Amino acid sequence: MVSSASSLLHQLKVLRLVLATNIIIWLTACSTQAPPTELAPEPEIVKKAIALQLNLTQTQLTQKLNAATPALEIGQINVKQLEPIFIAKLPAYHLQGTYDLTIKLPRQQAKQKNNPFEIYLQRQIEGKTWRLLKRETSKTEEKTQWNTYLIK
């Protein structure tokens, strides 16, 4: 009688372990789902994000070269890849593709076609604004940091 009670306790422990493992796996699977692509940024936000990224780079260059800032016009955006991810526990979208660029200088105009782009966009918690995220890797730390810029 004692051995059957001991066997029953052992079976209950094994059953608890199996149930606990299944619950942990289920919870982990639920928490790692990607954000829905239906909530991905609309084309106007993508265009503004590319323009912001170009302006950030252009500002650095014009300051170093002590040159005038040319006007930029973005057109024909083609998103080739959309990857929903989480960054800092908030839904984000990694987009890659191409765009056409017109650079308007004081005496001339230049056009570039099929420029590649790669951007990370994240909708803020309240859902009203988007931010451009730029990955910054520190040489001293292996951890990736993100700088964010409000898209207006």
User: What is the reported pLDDT for 28?
Assistant: 43
Reply yes or no on whether the pLDDT at 119 is more than 90. Answer: yes
Q: What angle do CA 68, 69, 71 make, to 5 degrees?
A: 135
User: What is the reported pLDDT for 33?
Assistant: 80
Write the CB contacts of 14 (distance below 8 Å, at least 6 apart in sequence).
none
For the chain, the helix, strand and coil percentages under 3-state DSSP, each to the nearest 5: 35, 40, 20
**Mean pLDDT score across all residues of the chain:** 82
User: What is the reported pLDDT for 3?
Assistant: 61
pLDDT in tens, 60-113: 777 777 777 788 999 999 999 999 999 988 899 999 999 999 998 888 899 999
Reply yes or no on whether the pLDDT at 127 is more than 70. Answer: yes
Average pLDDT over residues 33-41: 85
Q: What angle do CA 117, 53, 128 make, to 5 degrees?
A: 105
3-state class of 136 per DSSP?
Answer: strand
Calculate Rg over the CA atoms of the chain: 25
Residues counted in the chain = 152
Compute how many other C-beta atoms are within 10 angstroms of the C-beta atom of residue 139. 5
The structural domains of the chain, with segments of one domain joined by +, span 1-33, 37-150
Within the chain, strands assigned E span 71-87, 90-104, 109-123, 130-137, 144-150
Model confidence band, residue 8 (pLDDT cutoffs 50, 70, 90): low
Model confidence band, residue 30 (pLDDT cutoffs 50, 70, 90): very low
Contact, 74 vs 53, CB < 8 A?
Answer: no
User: What is the reported pLDDT for 47?
Assistant: 96
User: What is the reported pLDDT for 126?
Assistant: 84
